[in-house]
């Protein structure tokens, strides 16, 4: 199968789109009625913007959308219209293109590097500006004498302008600047051998900012049609710069001079400083506006859903267009959604029944094992032998029609009652109560099972899937994909891309009439996307190692809570902490995990029942939760005590984690939950 | 660092096979082929069926398929490792371990010119078919390739009997007396029957004519057993293969490499074997492949019948995954 052609979702990164595709696939995210990404960025104002977000949140797509090539597409190449109506020109540059990491070491003094980088940076950006302006001017029928005058004025921005001999044309000036850059490139390239930068080759010819602000200023002065036009310098991939380079860029932003302003795109973890070269911090709101894309999108689930729908509909429409088919959006949506095989719990249960034909279910074997262990440690109340266990299991099977899920419900209540029972209680009584309650439930009367079934069904299905080594298809359907992507457009598109790929490989012909995407293909795509997110988290070095360890500890803890005999909370994927109790190290790793979108902080927090205090609340990113078969719905949250939270997040306390996890395992599982030290804890069954 | 749950075994195997399908099996892959192949397994209840499918998927995940690219690389290895290097070694040995590259190359060229390559079998069979790729990969002139009937030339001669009567008869002799070595090339040798049957007479005749002529038999793949059978003939100077398939490649042998470690408790050697026997007996005799070789091997141009028939057979509407084109 040729995925490039047959998969409308094959491109998942905006950098891989052509300008035309950026325009065609553009969807404005409407945060509120009259507020959107466009109005938030607002190209009509001079306030600089820092567009911050995790990988794949759509930054590049947004920034490129405002660049000059896209303005041309939107304005059908009518440059006058751009200048008169848009009143701005977007100059898009990728900071990664500077290969900023070259500007260090090689036996060269740091201050030389600072100076040469600042100089080079301006030459690099001005090259881009001039190339765009040249294109604009050539379409405006500007008299040659004006161009010559403009170039002359720009040349006068250089200290040694009297020595500069260039053709007074844009080409001449661009060529001159390119030459200066090339000389620096060559010096840097060879610095590892020469251990120095030749002064004559890298001599700085203007003061910082003089060119980057000077050129637009001269253009506006000389050419009337630019009078009210803003020069928006759009820089992407800020995170690729060193800290000192970021400070230099911040300084330019801080010192900005009309008609120039800046929009800067940064990964969340890369937006590390607001400082300028003078050490002062830029003030948010008055000196710049940070726009946190992740937060904006995640806060508006409904709008994100609409946005995501529009994203895939655009791609599908385009795909069918290439097949010469025009389908209206509603029909397109309905057809596409119908391709996703829906989650079917009954099918899953039937599968488990068939797989265990004539054999004892694992959950019954486990129960037997737990009771036998209990006998050994005198924790199984009045049960003393295997025959008693066999009859107990018969009682559990009673009325369940061999349905494993129904048996799970009964076993759960049995565990609850076993845990709570006093020493003289008998299993006969416990089973009697279980069966009475169960019968009431069958008859539709109020019983303990109502709440158990309402609250715990998903968890027990997940347990059954794990015990029987089959996929838990709870992560299925387009709505679930939108939910799982948690506001991240690339994750969402990737889920669709992989679904189409897997379904194609499996012969489900997903893009053909009558084709489908099976639950298995959906599951594999969810798992693969989660794996991509996990493995591509860009966590490196010691911090990376410790962060992954923290994530492992956290998910081990969550897994223990979900896959145990008597889960306390239901569908747990959130936790809350008392932040003031935690060490700086633990909090710093929580922050790192937030920066990399591994954890999502819920700004509303969690109001603690007893103290009524608002505590910090976090969720494991839904995109990666399927790697551990953890839930994606936000329902249950657990409190992590100082001791536990430190062992999870503070690398100095990681070695305590295993024993704390074992303690928790004992609390949650039979028969050890009967041990006195756990049985006295009143919080185990409170929700 | 992987610290997350594995996929369930069924999906894990599927996923692995998909990756093969998109990469090293690309030139054999058809979308949906694995699901179609799994539909062959229908003779059991669901619980057993799943186990059967997991076991055959496991075997599939161990299948060694050599595509066009890989085969061409193997042909180059055959030329380099089995033909060229031993000649160079002896040139150097005979010349005081010379390291003079020009000299060595010149001498090798002379040896090459006195060598001829031949395919094994009928012109429509794979041994001959491979010579075309072999020539391309090794950048050899076509004059170094001949057919069987080019080895000898047959002439009509007359002899004078005692009574002075003249009797005409046919006489064969080596056509090109300048040739020092003949190299027979084959893709696969399972039991060695090609050499022990078909080639035996030809090689005997060559040696009869001139016992100093070197005759070598080189294969891409050969079982240890097959190589030994051919060596036992003591006809060829060298019998060798690029890829020797030892007993550990016999899927269900005691030394099978495939069951030393299994990723899941449901995967069992005995169960796998019984499944292959159960379905294999409807497909081929012997049910575990020709010579009971039990191989998991497929080549771009064909799948040897020594491979488990569940992978290649088409009889009784069985849907193969690495189809075999049989010799009729």
SS3 A176: helix
Of B4, B21, B33, the CB nearest to A534: B4
Whether residues A318 and A349 share a domain: the answer is no
- Indicate yes or no: CB of A507 within 8 angstroms of CB of B8: no
Whether residues A421 and A328 share a domain: the answer is no
Cβ contacts (< 8 Å) between B53 and chain A: which residues?
none
Whether residues B143 and B207 share a domain: the answer is yes
B287 pLDDT more than 90 = yes
* Contact by Cβ (8 Å): B230, B192: yes
DSSP B194: I
Report yes or no: A551 at the B interface, CB cutoff 8 Å.
yes
Query: How confident is the model at residue A687, as a pLDDT?
Result: 33
Which residues lie closer than 8 Å to A65 by C-beta, 6 or more apart? A22, A23, A26
Query: How confident is the model at residue B153, as a pLDDT?
Result: 93
For B2, the closest chain A residue by CA position comes to: A535
Give the residues of chain A that fall short of pLDDT 70: 1-5, 31, 677-687
| Nearest CA among A244, A178, B94, A518 for reference residue A166 | A178
Whether residues A175 and A34 share a domain: the answer is yes
Cβ contacts (< 8 Å) between B34 and chain A: which residues?
506
Token couple for A498 = 């992989």
Report yes or no: A627 at the B interface, CB cutoff 8 Å.
yes
Report yes or no: B265 at the A interface, CB cutoff 8 Å.
no
- The number of folded domains in chain B is 2
A9 vs A28: CA distance, rounded Å: 19
Strands of the sheet with A614-620, listed across from one edge:
A599-607, A614-620, A572-577, A636-639
Of A357, A502, A628, the CB nearest to B4: A628
A257 vs A582: CA distance, rounded Å: 45
> A313-330 burial by CB neighbour count: b if 16+ within 10 A, else e?
bbbbbebbeeeeeebeee
Residue A632 phi, psi (nearest 5): -110, -15
Q: According to DSSP H, which parts of A96-160 are helical?
A: 110-138, 144-155
Query: How confident is the model at residue A1, as a pLDDT?
Result: 44
Domain boundary among B245, B274, B292: B245
Residue at token pair 């290649």: B312
DSSP A84: I
Whether residues A256 and A355 share a domain: the answer is no
Whether residues A574 and A599 share a domain: the answer is yes
Max Cα distance, chain B (Å): 97
Q: Is A459 left (phi over 0), alpha (psi -120 to 50) or beta?
A: alpha
Whether residues B54 and B187 share a domain: the answer is no
> Which domain range does residue A415 map to?
345-467
Query: How confident is the model at residue A685, as a pLDDT?
Result: 39
Cβ contacts (< 8 Å) between A504 and chain B: which residues?
31
| Nearest CA among A648, A573, A622, A538 for reference residue A268 | A538
In a domain, B161, yes or no: no
Query: How confident is the model at residue A26, as a pLDDT?
Result: 86
* Contact by Cβ (8 Å): B195, B233: yes
Residue A634 phi, psi (nearest 5): -90, 105
B196-205: long-range pairs with CB below 8 Å, 24+: B196/B229, B196/B230, B196/B233, B198/B120, B198/B121, B199/B120, B200/B233, B200/B235, B202/B148, B202/B151, B203/B235, B203/B236, B204/B235, B205/B152, B205/B172
Whether residues A223 and A362 share a domain: the answer is no
B205 vs B207: CA distance, rounded Å: 5
In chain A, positions 479-538, which contact chain B (CB-CB < 8 Å)? 502, 504-509, 520, 523-524, 527, 530-531, 534
Alpha-carbon gap: A449 to the closest alpha carbon of chain B (Å): 30
B269 vs B278: CA distance, rounded Å: 14
Of A505, A508, A534, the CB nearest to B18: A505
A600-606: long-range pairs with CB below 8 Å, 24+: A600/A298, A600/A486, A602/A574, A602/A634, A603/A295, A603/A299, A605/A576, A606/A574, A606/A576, A606/A637
Whether residues B75 and B185 share a domain: the answer is yes
User: Which residues, listed in sequence order, are joined to residue B160 by a DSSP beta bridge?
Assistant: B166
Report yes or no: A673 at the B interface, CB cutoff 8 Å.
no
Alpha-carbon gap: B314 to the closest alpha carbon of chain A (Å): 20
Of B11, B22, B33, the CB nearest to A524: B11
> Which domain range does residue B26 map to?
9-61+261-317
Whether residues B218 and B278 share a domain: the answer is no
Domain boundary among B212, B245, B278: B245
B245 vs B259: CA distance, rounded Å: 16
SS3 A370: helix
User: Which residues, listed in sequence order, are joined to residue B241 by a DSSP beta bridge?
Assistant: B219
Residue at token pair 């295993």: A658
The share of chain B scoring above pLDDT 70, in percent, equals 99
- Indicate yes or no: CB of A628 within 8 angstroms of CB of B21: no
Max Cα distance, chain A (Å): 106
The DSSP H or E segment spanning A638 is strand A636-639
Q: According to DSSP H, which parts of A356-488 are helical?
A: 362-376, 386-397, 404-420, 427-442, 448-467, 478-484
Of B8, B10, B31, the CB nearest to A507: B31
Cβ contacts (< 8 Å) between B15 and chain A: which residues?
524
Instruction: Give the predicted TM-score (pTM) of the model.
Output: 0.85
Whether residues B133 and B98 share a domain: the answer is yes
Whether residues B121 and B208 share a domain: the answer is yes
In a domain, B160, yes or no: no
Whether residues A521 and A448 share a domain: the answer is no
* Contact by Cβ (8 Å): A215, A150: no
Cβ contacts (< 8 Å) between A505 and chain B: which residues?
18, 21-22, 31-32
Report yes or no: B166 at the A interface, CB cutoff 8 Å.
no
Q: How far is CA A624 from CA A272, A534, A551, A657, B3, in A?
A: 25, 7, 11, 22, 12
* Contact by Cβ (8 Å): A214, A245: no
Q: CA angle, A197 as apex, A194 and A200 as ends, to 5°?
A: 125
In a domain, A100, yes or no: yes
Whether residues A593 and A451 share a domain: the answer is no
For A539, the closest chain B residue by CA position comes to: B1
Whether residues A275 and A316 share a domain: the answer is no
Q: How far is CA A229 from CA A42, A88, A236, B140, in A?
A: 14, 5, 22, 69
Whether residues B128 and B216 share a domain: the answer is yes
In a domain, A7, yes or no: no
β pairing state of A230-236 and A88-94 = parallel
Cβ contacts (< 8 Å) between B37 and chain A: which residues?
none
Alpha-carbon gap: B8 to the closest alpha carbon of chain A (Å): 5
Cβ contacts (< 8 Å) between B9 and chain A: which residues?
469
In a domain, B322, yes or no: no
E strands present in B161-213: 166-174, 181-189
For B32, the closest chain A residue by CA position comes to: A507
Given CA atoms A663, A665, A667, A673 in this order, what sign does their dihedral have? negative
In chain A, positions 340-369, which contact chain B (CB-CB < 8 Å)? 351, 354-359
SS3 A143: coil
| Nearest CA among A558, A565, A472 for reference residue A519 | A472
B34 vs B14: CA distance, rounded Å: 8
Whether residues B99 and B227 share a domain: the answer is yes
- The number of folded domains in chain A is 4
Rounded to 10°, the helix A427-442/A448-467 angle is 100
In a domain, A26, yes or no: yes
Whether residues B111 and B189 share a domain: the answer is yes
- Three-state secondary structure along A564-602? CCCCCCCCEEEEEECHHHCCHHHHHHHHHHHHCCCEEEE
**Which of A17 and B109 is assigned the larger pLDDT?**
B109
Domain boundary among B216, B245, B274: B245
Of B11, B21, B31, the CB nearest to A520: B11
In a domain, B251, yes or no: no
Which residues lie closer than 8 Å to A68 by C-beta, 6 or more apart? A82, A89, A90, A91, A92, A132
A609 vs B153: CA distance, rounded Å: 103
Of B31, B45, B46, the CB nearest to A505: B31
Which residues lie closer than 8 Å to A678 by C-beta, 6 or more apart? A666, A667, A672, A684
Report yes or no: B286 at the A interface, CB cutoff 8 Å.
no
Whether residues B56 and B190 share a domain: the answer is no
Cis, peptide link before residue A671, omega less than 30° from 0: yes
For B6, the closest chain A residue by CA position comes to: A627
Of B10, B14, B46, the CB nearest to A357: B46
- Three-state secondary structure along A482-507? HHHCCCCHHHHHHHHHHHHHHHHHCC
Of A507, A527, A534, the CB nearest to B35: A507
Q: According to DSSP H, which parts of A3-109 are helical?
A: 3-6, 19-24, 37-41, 59-65, 68-74, 79-81
Cβ contacts (< 8 Å) between B20 and chain A: which residues?
none
Whether residues A266 and A212 share a domain: the answer is yes
Q: Which CATH number characterizes residue B110's domain? A: 3.40.50
Whether residues A45 and A68 share a domain: the answer is yes
Whether residues A231 and A277 share a domain: the answer is yes
The share of chain B scoring above pLDDT 90, in percent, equals 79
Of B3, B10, B32, the CB nearest to A507: B32
Query: How confident is the model at residue A140, as a pLDDT?
Result: 86
In a domain, A335, yes or no: yes
Cβ contacts (< 8 Å) between B4 and chain A: which residues?
530-531, 534, 555, 627-628
Q: How far is CA A33 from CA A66, A257, A393, A612, in A?
A: 21, 33, 59, 34
In a domain, A547, yes or no: no
- Indicate yes or no: CB of A504 within 8 angstroms of CB of B31: yes
For A520, the closest chain B residue by CA position comes to: B11
B43 pLDDT more than 90 = no
Residue of B2, B4, B39, B49 to mutate, interface with A, max A Cβ within 10 Å: B4
Query: Mind listing the pLDDT tens digit for each residue in A451-472?
Result: 999 999 999 999 999 999 999 9
| Nearest CA among A487, A498, A529 for reference residue A304 | A487
Which of A179-193, A599-613, B111-125, B190-204 is the most confident on average? Answer: A179-193
For A352, the closest chain B residue by CA position comes to: B47
Query: Mind listing the pLDDT tens digit for each residue in B230-278?
Result: 999 999 999 999 999 999 999 999 999 999 999 999 999 999 999 999 9
Query: Mind listing the pLDDT tens digit for each residue in B50-77?
Result: 999 999 999 999 999 999 999 999 999 9
Cβ contacts (< 8 Å) between B38 and chain A: which residues?
none
**Which of B213 and A36 is assigned the larger pLDDT?**
B213
Cβ contacts (< 8 Å) between A469 and chain B: which residues?
8-10, 264, 266
Report yes or no: B315 at the A interface, CB cutoff 8 Å.
no
């Amino acid at each position: 199968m040729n995925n490039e052609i047959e998969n409308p979702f094959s491109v998942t990164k905006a950098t891989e789109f052509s300008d035309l595709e950026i325009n065609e696939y553009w969807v404005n995210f409407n945060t509120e009625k009259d507020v959107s990404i466009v109005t938030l960025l607002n190209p009509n104002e001079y306030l600089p913007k820092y567009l911050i977000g995790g990988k794949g949140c759509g930054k590049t797509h947004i920034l490129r959308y405002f660049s000059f090539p896209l303005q041309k597409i939107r304005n059908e190449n009518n440059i006058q219209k751009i200048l008169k109506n848009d009143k701005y020109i977007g100059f898009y540059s990728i900071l990664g293109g500077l290969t900023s990491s070259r500007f260090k070491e090689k036996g060269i003094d740091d201050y030389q590097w600072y100076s040469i980088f600042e100089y080079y940076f301006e030459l690099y950006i001005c090259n881009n500006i001039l190339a765009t302006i040249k294109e604009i001017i050539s379409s405006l029928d500007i008299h040659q004498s004006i161009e010559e005058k403009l170039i002359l004025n720009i040349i006068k921005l250089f200290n040694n302008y009297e020595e500069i001999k260039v053709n007074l044309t844009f080409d001449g000036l661009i060529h001159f600047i390119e030459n200066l850059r090339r000389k620096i490139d060559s010096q840097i390239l060879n610095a590892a051998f020469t251990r120095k930068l030749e002064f004559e080759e890298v001599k700085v010819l203007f003061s910082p900012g003089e060119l980057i602000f000077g050129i637009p200023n001269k253009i506006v002065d000389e050419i009337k049609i630019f009078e009210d036009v803003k020069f928006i310098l759009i820089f992407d991939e800020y995170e690729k710069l060193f800290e000192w380079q970021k400070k230099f860029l911040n300084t330019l932003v801080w010192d900005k001079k009309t008609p120039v302003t800046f929009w800067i795109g940064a990964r969340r973890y890369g937006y590390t400083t607001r400082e300028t070269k003078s050490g002062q911090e830029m003030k948010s709101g008055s000196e710049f506006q940070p726009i946190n894309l992740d937060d904006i999108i995640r806060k508006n689930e409904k709008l994100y859903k609409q946005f995501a729908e529009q994203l895939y509909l655009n791609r599908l429409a385009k795909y069918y267009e290439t097949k010469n088919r025009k389908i209206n959006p509603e029909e397109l949506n309905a057809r596409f959604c119908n391709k996703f095989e829906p989650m079917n719990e009954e099918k899953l249960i039937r599968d488990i029944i068939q797989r265990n034909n004539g054999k004892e279910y694992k959950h019954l074997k486990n129960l037997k094992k737990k009771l036998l262990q209990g006998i050994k440690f005198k924790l199984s109340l009045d049960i003393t032998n295997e025959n008693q266990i066999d009859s107990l299991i018969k009682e559990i099977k009673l009325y369940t029609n061999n349905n494993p899920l129904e048996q799970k419900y009964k076993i759960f209540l049995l565990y609850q009652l076993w845990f709570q029972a006093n020493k003289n209680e008998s299993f006969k009584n416990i089973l009697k109560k279980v069966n009475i309650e169960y019968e009431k439930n069958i008859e539709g009367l109020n019983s303990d099972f109502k709440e158990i079934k309402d609250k715990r069904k998903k968890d027990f299905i997940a347990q059954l899937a794990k015990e029987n080594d089959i996929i838990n298809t709870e992560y299925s359907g387009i709505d679930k994909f939108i939910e799982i992507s948690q506001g991240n457009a690339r994750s969402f598109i990737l889920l669709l891309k992989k679904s189409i790929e897997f379904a194609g490989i499996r012969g489900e012909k997903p893009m053909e009439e009558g084709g489908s995407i099976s639950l298995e293909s959906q599951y594999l795509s969810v798992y693969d996307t989660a794996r991509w997110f996990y493995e591509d988290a860009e966590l490196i070095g010691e911090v990376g190692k410790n962060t992954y360890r923290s994530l492992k500890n956290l998910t081990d803890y969550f897994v223990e809570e979900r896959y145990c005999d008597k889960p306390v909370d239901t569908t747990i994927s959130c936790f809350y902490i008392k932040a003031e109790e935690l060490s700086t190290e633990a909090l710093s790793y929580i922050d790192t995990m937030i920066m990399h979108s591994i954890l999502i902080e819920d700004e509303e927090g969690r109001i603690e029942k007893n103290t009524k205090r608002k505590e910090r609340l976090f969720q494991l990113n839904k995109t990666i939760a399927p790697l551990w078969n953890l839930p994606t719905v936000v329902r249950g949250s657990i409190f992590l005590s100082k001791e536990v939270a430190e062992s999870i997040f503070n690398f100095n306390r990681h070695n305590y984690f295993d024993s704390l996890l074992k303690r928790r395992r004992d609390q949650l599982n039979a028969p050890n939950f009967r041990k006195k030290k756990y049985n006295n804890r009143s919080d185990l069954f409170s929700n | 660092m992987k610290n997350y749950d594995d996929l369930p075994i069924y999906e894990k195997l599927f996923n692995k096979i998909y990756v093969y399908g998109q990469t090293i099996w690309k030139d054999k892959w058809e979308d949906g082929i694995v699901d179609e192949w799994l539909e062959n397994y229908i003779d059991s209840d669901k619980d057993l069926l799943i186990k059967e499918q997991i076991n055959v998927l496991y075997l599939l995940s161990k299948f060694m398929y050599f595509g066009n690219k890989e085969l061409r690389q193997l042909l180059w290895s055959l030329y380099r490792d089995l033909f060229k290097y031993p000649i160079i070694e002896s040139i150097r040995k005979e010349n005081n371990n010379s390291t003079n590259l020009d000299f060595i190359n010149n001498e090798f060229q002379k040896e090459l010119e006195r060598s001829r390559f031949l395919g094994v079998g009928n012109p429509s069979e794979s041994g001959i078919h491979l010579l075309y790729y072999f020539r391309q990969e090794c950048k050899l002139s076509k004059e170094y390739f001949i057919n069987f009937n080019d080895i000898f030339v047959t002439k009509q001669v007359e002899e004078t009997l005692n009574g002075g009567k003249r009797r005409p008869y046919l006489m064969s002799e080596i056509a090109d007396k300048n040739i020092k070595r003949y190299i027979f090339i084959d893709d696969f040798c399972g039991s060695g029957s090609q050499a022990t049957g078909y080639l035996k007479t030809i090689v005997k005749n060559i040696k009869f004519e001139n016992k100093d002529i070197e005759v070598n038999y080189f294969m891409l793949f050969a079982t240890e057993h097959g190589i030994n059978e051919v060596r036992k003939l003591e006809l060829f100077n060298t019998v060798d293969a690029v890829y020797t398939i030892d007993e550990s490649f016999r899927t269900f042998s005691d030394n099978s490499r495939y069951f030393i470690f299994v990723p899941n408790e449901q995967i069992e050697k005995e169960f796998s074997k019984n499944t292959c026997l159960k379905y294999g007996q409807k497909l081929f005799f012997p049910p575990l492949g020709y010579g009971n070789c039990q191989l998991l091997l497929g080549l771009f141009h064909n799948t040897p019948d020594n491979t488990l028939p569940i992978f290649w057979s088409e009889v009784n509407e069985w849907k193969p995954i690495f189809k075999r084109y049989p010799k009729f």
